[in-house]
Amino acid sequence: MGHRNCRSARASKIKNWRAWLGQTANTPPEGITAEVLVVRSFEELNKPEVSAAAKGKIVVINFNFERYGRSVKYRSQGPVEAAKHGALAVLIKSVTPFSMYTLHTGYLKYRKDVKKIPALSITVEDANMLQRYQDKGKKIVIKLQVDSQHLPDETSRNLVAEIKGSEKEQKIVVVSGHLDSWDVGVGAMDDGGGSFISWYSMVLLKSLGLRARRTLRVILWTAEEPGFIGAQAYDKAHKNDLDDFTFVMESDEGTFNPLGIEYTTGKKGGCILKEIVGLLEPINATQTQYSESVGSDIAMWAKKIPIAGLLNENQKYFWYHHSVADSLDILDSDTLDKATAVWASVAYVVADLKEEFPRDFDDISKLPINKLIEKLRQSGQNH
């Protein structure tokens, strides 16, 4: 990946932009110079007159951000949708509720049967500006040059460590986060924070000399952002012993002030978690919340293994997500300590339960698991 330029050829008021997205196709070396068509949604793009107008243009998708899970389709599916209507390239508004001219990158998905066109993200501000130009009836022409490189895949590994259980060593409780991040920013929040609290939960329990009945395992997943590659390899390697995984946790939605635990388990499991987080009253992290999609790497196990994530005050998560602003400044040392306390406490108590944590998935969404994974993939919940 590299940084790309797009430059307005005829509207001199528009400055140079930087823009990027993972896995984008390239332009020819001389670039593409074409007129711009701004649309607000796929529905608009599908209207016959708009579809006809999109042919041969650089399509700009200036959607209204609702919430990440709903809006991210414009990034992940926008290149295919624009190409279907004959667009030469697509510029997609960054998927964020708040912008200070920050670019947000992320996963996009091409399809074998649809032409791969160059796809870049642009800032919220630039997308809105292009919309205003179009609304005023101005003709906008952009010259776009994209020269990204897709380097050959290399081997990388999940990082695994554990404290063996005292009674039921083969039974496992997992705490996890993912090690990789996008090329922009340093990935401190996504997912340095989740990796930190998972690793330090183990350090904390070890330093306290606590050993649970079951084995506690930390997994730092590799290659989550390009599509859960480390987690899928792990799933494949463990397909015959998934029954031994009692409970799996992943923190990949921020390590801001912790409120408790979100989970995807049946009602009985939810009740047990409610009891457990009751222990965390001194740090006011006693909430539990059922969620249909917890974590990112672990979401594929939603109907096989009880899973959980960190419930935290993450309203600003997508301000920084996949942008150069994902820096260490977002993380706060005392808050990370509190999040580690929640993480370690829940993992330890579940691992030390006398009874096995209920594997009761009756109340969980009836979505077939492959559909659920596909939904997550499309929604780009590769945080």
Q: How far is 376 from 367, CA to CA, in rounded Å?
A: 12
Closest CA to 251 of 359, 355, 165, 335: 335
In the complex with Zn ion, which residue's Cβ is closer, 191 or 352? 191
CB of 299 to Zn ion, least distance (A): 12
CB of 178 to Zn ion, least distance (A): 5
In angstroms and rounded to an integer, the radius of gyration of the C-alpha atoms of the chain is 23
Which of 35, 43, 44, 224 is the catalytic position? 224
229: amino acid identity, one letter: I
Q: Produce one character per residue of 13-49: b if its CB has 16 or more CB atoms within 10 Å, e if not.
A: ebeebebbbbbbbebeeebbbbebbbbbebeebeeee
In the complex with Zn ion, which residue's Cβ is closer, 377 or 383? 383
In the complex with Zn ion, which residue's Cβ is closer, 126 or 180? 180
Name the residue whose CB lies closest to Zn ion: 383
Helix (H) or strand (E) holding 43: helix 42-46
Q: Is 81 a catalytic residue?
A: no
Q: How far is 301 from 373, CA to CA, in rounded Å?
A: 9
Strand residue runs (E) in the chain: 4-8, 17-19, 32-39, 58-61, 89-93, 119-122, 141-145, 159-163, 168-178, 214-221, 245-250, 258-264, 287-290, 307-312
Residues that bind Zn ion (CB under 5 A): 190-191, 252, 383
In the complex with Zn ion, which residue's Cβ is closer, 144 or 229? 229
In the complex with Zn ion, which residue's Cβ is closer, 260 or 295? 295
CB of 381 to Zn ion, least distance (A): 8
Active site positions, annotated? 224
